Amino acid sequence: MTPAARIQTAAELLGEVLSGVPAEKVLTSWARRSRFAGSKDRVAVRDHVFDALRCRRSCAALGGAMTGRGIMLGWLRMQGGDPAPLFTGGQYTPAVLSEAELAGGRVPDGAEALDLPDWLLPLFREGLGNQAEAVALSLRERAPVMLRVNLRLTDPAGAISALAEGGIMAEPDAISRTALRVLDGARKVSGSRAYADGLVELQDGASQAVADELNLVDGSKVLDLCAGGGGKTLAMAGLSRAQFYAYDANPQRMRDLPARAERAGVVVNILDDAGDAAPYDLVLCDAPCSGSGAWRRAPEGKWLLSAEGLADLNRTQDEILDRAAGLVAPAGELAYVTCSVLARENLQRIEAFIARNPGWRVLSERQWLPGPSGDGFYLSRLTQG
Ligand SMILES: C[S@@+](CC[C@H](N)C(=O)[O-])C[C@H]1O[C@@H](n2cnc3c(N)ncnc32)[C@H](O)[C@@H]1O
C-alpha cells in the first residue's frame, strides 16, 4: 500500500469507529478482508487509526470535520507537512481536497487542544490541579511497551537474555523491580520462547508498581476480587508464595487465567463466590473504572465516557469496596486500585467509603501519572481500627 492508500484506509476505518463500532473490531475485520495488505501496512494503518483517535478532537478541528477524512486531514496537518500531495483522487487514495477543505480547519483551543471532552476538563483539574493539562497532553502520546518479569521463574537479567534470543531488546525500568521496557521487537513478544515459558508477561509498568506496594506475605490468603484476565493476580503471584484466590462478577473474563497461571508456574484458585474462602488477609479491588489513566492504549474510552457513565462507575466502585470490606480478616488489608486519574474514582471513593465505614483508615495512598514507564494508576491501602 502507498502512504496515501494507508491514509485513505485509516480515514474509512475511523468513519466506522465514529459510527459506533469498536476500533479493535473495525481493524480486525479490515485485516481479514484485506489479504493484499502486508504486515507493515497493517501496522501502519493500525498506528494511524490509534494515533488519530488519541487526538480525535484536535484533529477534527484542524481538518475541519468530525469525519474519518476530516480527522486524517487534521492529523496530517498536525504533523506539519502539506497534506495535498496525498489527496490525489486515485483508485485507492483520498479524493482531491475541495476548496472548502483547503480553506477550512482551525487551530484547536481549550479542552479541544487537550483532546478532552469539555465536561471532563474540570474533573481533570479537580484531581490533578496544575498537572491536569500536562496529563491530558500525555494521553495524546503512544504508551510504552512494558513487560513484567516473573520472579518465580527468572530474574530481570535472565529474562533480558531469553528475550534477546528471540530478537527482542529490553532493559530494566525503575518503575518496578519486575519491569522491563521493550526497546525493539515488541511485536515478537507473544510468539517468543521467553513468553511461552512464562518468564515474562506483557503488563503496564504502573500496574506492576501497584503489586510492589502491596503487603504480600508468604502463606497468607489473598483475594483478587475483580480479577478479570488475572493481570494483577499473576503480578502478585510472581512476587510471593501467598495463597491466591480470584473472583470476577463476569467469570468469562477469567477464562484464560488457568492457562496463564500454569504458564507462570503459580497456583490460582478460581472462585464462583468471592466469599467461598473468606476471610482473607488481603483483598485487592482492581475496580472497573473510566480507564482514564490508560487512554493512550484505549483512546476511544475518553470519547465514550459520559457524566452518567462515570456516576454509574462510582456506584459500582462503592459497592465493590463495601463488599470487599466484609471479606477482609480483622487485621487484614483492603487495597483499592484504579487505572484512573480522576479524584471522583480515587480519593473521593475512599473518603466516601470511610464515611460509610468509620472503623476503617488509610494505611497508604499513591498515585502514578501516565508517563514514560506506565499508565496512570491509583492505590489506597486500608485497614480496620
Ligand atoms: C479493571 S478490570 C480488572 C483487571 C484485572 N484485575 C487485571 O489486572 O487484568 C475490572 C474487573 O471488575 C469486574 N467487576 C465489575 N463489577 C464487579 C463486581 N461487582 N465484583 C467483582 N468484579 C466486578 C469486571 O468484570 C472487570 O473484569
pLDDT in tens, 22-41: 999 999 999 999 989 999 99
Instruction: Clarify whether residues 237 and 309 are in a common domain.
Output: yes
Q: Of the residues 148, 248, 322, 345, which should be mutated to test ligand 1's pocket, given the most ligand atoms within 8 Å of the CB?
A: 248
CB of 320 sitting under 6 A from ligand 1: yes
Residue with the smallest CA separation from ligand 1 atom 9 is 231
Spell 76-109 as b/e; 16+ CB within 10 A means b: bbbeeeebeebbbeeeebbeebeeebeebbeebe
The residue out of 88, 108, 128 marking a domain boundary is 108
Residues 301 and 292: beta-carbon distance below 8 Å = yes
Query: Cα–Cα distance between 229 and 255 in angstroms, integer?
Result: 7
CB of 286 sitting under 6 A from ligand 1: yes
Query: Cα–Cα distance between 10 and 159 in angstroms, integer?
Result: 36
Instruction: Clarify whether residues 43 and 163 are in a common domain.
Output: no
Instruction: Clarify whether residues 258 and 371 are in a common domain.
Output: yes
Residue with the smallest CA separation from ligand 1 atom 27 is 228
Q: Point out the catalytic residue in the list 55, 285, 289, 339.
A: 339
- Give mean pLDDT, residues 41-48: 96
The pLDDT value recorded for residue 307 is 97
Distances (CA, A) of 64 to 31, 89, 102: 29, 19, 9
Examine residue 281 and state whether it is found in any structural domain, yes or no: yes
Examine residue 123 and state whether it is found in any structural domain, yes or no: no
Instruction: Clarify whether residues 293 and 380 are in a common domain.
Output: yes
- Give mean pLDDT, residues 4-19: 97
Query: Cα–Cα distance between 123 and 61 in angstroms, integer?
Result: 23
- Give mean pLDDT, residues 354-371: 97
Instruction: Clarify whether residues 321 and 377 are in a common domain.
Output: yes
Ligand 1 centroid to Cα of residue 230, in Å, is 9
55 in active site: no
Residue with the smallest CA separation from ligand 1 atom 3 is 228
CB of 375 sitting under 6 A from ligand 1: no
Query: Cα–Cα distance between 249 and 253 in angstroms, integer?
Result: 9
Instruction: Clarify whether residues 196 and 222 are in a common domain.
Output: no
CB of 264 sitting under 6 A from ligand 1: no
The residue out of 167, 190, 205 marking a domain boundary is 205
Instruction: Clarify whether residues 186 and 233 are in a common domain.
Output: no
Examine residue 376 and state whether it is found in any structural domain, yes or no: yes
Instruction: Clarify whether residues 163 and 233 are in a common domain.
Output: no
Confidence of residue 286 (pLDDT cuts 50, 70, 90): very high
- Rg for the chain, CA atoms, rounded: 23
Q: Which positions make up the binding site?
A: 248, 272, 286
Residue with the smallest CA separation from ligand 1 atom 10 is 288
Residue with the smallest CA separation from ligand 1 atom 7 is 231
We report the CATH number of the domain holding residue 161 as 3.30.70.1170
Instruction: Clarify whether residues 188 and 231 are in a common domain.
Output: no
Q: Identify the domain containing residue 200 by its residue range.
A: 146-205
| pTM to 2 decimal places | 0.95
Query: Cα–Cα distance between 215 and 281 in angstroms, integer?
Result: 9
pLDDT of 385 above 90: no
Q: Which positions make up the binding site for S-adenosyl-L-methionine?
A: 248, 272, 286
Query: Cα–Cα distance between 100 and 170 in angstroms, integer?
Result: 48
Number of folded domains in the chain? 3
CB atoms within 10 A of CB 223: 31
CA nearest neighbour of 225 among 271, 268, 266: 271
Ligand 1 centroid to Cα of residue 287, in Å, is 6
pLDDT of 81 above 90: no
Query: Cα–Cα distance between 273 and 64 in angstroms, integer?
Result: 52
The pLDDT value recorded for residue 153 is 95
The pLDDT value recorded for residue 133 is 98
CB of 241 sitting under 6 A from ligand 1: no
Instruction: Clarify whether residues 64 and 151 are in a common domain.
Output: no
Instruction: Clarify whether residues 238 and 372 are in a common domain.
Output: yes
Confidence of residue 383 (pLDDT cuts 50, 70, 90): very high
Instruction: Clarify whether residues 103 and 153 are in a common domain.
Output: no
